[in-house]
């Protein structure tokens, strides 16, 4: 009897950024690489075949997803992206933008037959704007004041391809926090995947991550008291359990070293 195909995971983490003329455009993302390595190893123990990529340009990021269309896939495809970003966009290490809709469409059923019936799950650690979330008083039932400029946050996701889920570290228009110990969002994801909550259906698992970040995470130092609120968009039509596999002994993710940009 043939063995079932192994589900695949693609983890992309950008930590160092400069433009085509060598100028440093974004700050170094200290703590992001180690966090991505931990996530990759956890996914490997959950029987995913993991590809971990570090410091990739915008074009290289698109090429990585194109390559997934030529691979054999199991029940699920998971991707973690950790980089600088803004609403609807993540940045390559060359400081060039990659539209998230472009990534989603590369893996859509029209473009990628290998993934046409397979749930595609994205966890995206990146800013979606420049606002700081000051949090709310949960006991208060009065209306929240509207910001001066509300981002058009849904237009890019109305055409989310079938069988696709995208979970974001923060709400539209806001920053996502990262320090030398990692990010609020991906640390919460790690905690859930390493615990018994990994057996939950995906929508419940993501709601649990929301709770962890909203109630147990708060910025310190310069941004003392600021909060973060993850959110997710899904068009799955059934419950899925992508992380409920029996954990295997510790394995190393496949790591592709590259020159630092």
- Average pLDDT for 109-118: 89
Report the run of H or E that residue 82 belongs to, with start and end. Answer: strand 77-82
Q: What is the pLDDT of residues 1-30, one digit of tens each?
A: 456 789 999 999 999 998 777 776 788 899
The mean per-residue pLDDT over the stretch 132-150 comes to 46
Q: Please give the share of the chain, as a percent, with pLDDT higher than 90.
A: 59
pLDDT digits (tens, 9 = 90+) for 57-108: 999 999 999 999 999 999 999 999 999 999 999 999 999 999 999 999 999 9
> Residue 148 pLDDT more than 70?
no
More confidently predicted of 163 and 255? 163
Strands 164-168 and 231-234: antiparallel
pTM for this structure? 0.84
Please compute the mean of the pLDDT values over residues 236-244 and round it to a whole number.
Answer: 94
The b-or-e profile of 138-152 (16+ CB within 10 A means b, else e) is eeeeeeeeeeeeebe
Whole-number pLDDT of residue 4: 77
Which of the four pLDDT bands, split at 50, 70 and 90, describes residue 217?
A: low
Closest C-alpha among 24, 179, 156 to residue 90: 156
């Amino acid at each position: 009897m043939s063995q079932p195909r192994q589900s695949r995971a693609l983890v992309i983490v950008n930590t160092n950024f400069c433009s085509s003329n060598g100028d440093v455009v974004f700050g170094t993302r200290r703590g992001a690489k180690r966090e991505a390595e931990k996530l990759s190893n956890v996914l490997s123990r959950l029987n995913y075949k993991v590809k971990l990529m570090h410091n990739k340009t915008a074009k290289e990021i698109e090429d990585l997803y194109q390559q997934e269309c030529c691979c054999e896939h199991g029940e699920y495809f998971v991707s973690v992206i950790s980089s600088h970003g803004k609403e609807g966009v993540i940045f390559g290490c060359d400081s060039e933008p990659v539209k998230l809709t472009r990534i989603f469409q590369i893996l859509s059923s029209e473009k990628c037959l290998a993934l046409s019936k397979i749930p595609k799950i994205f966890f995206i650690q990146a800013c979606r704007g420049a606002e700081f979330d000051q949090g709310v008083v949960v006991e208060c039932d009065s209306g929240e004041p509207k910001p001066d400029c509300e981002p058009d946050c849904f237009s890019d996701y109305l055409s989310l391809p079938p069988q696709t889920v995208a979970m974001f570290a923060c709400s539209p228009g806001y920053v996502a926090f990262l320090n030398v110990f990692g990010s609020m969002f991906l640390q919460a994801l790690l905690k859930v995947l390493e615990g018994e909550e990994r057996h939950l259906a995906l929508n419940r698992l993501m709601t649990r991550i929301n709770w962890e970040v909203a109630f147990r995470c708060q910025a310190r130092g310069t941004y003392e008291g600021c909060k973060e609120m993850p959110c997710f968009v899904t068009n799955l039509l059934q419950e899925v359990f992508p992380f409920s596999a029996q954990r295997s002994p510790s394995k190393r993710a496949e790591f592709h070293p590259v020159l630092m940009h």
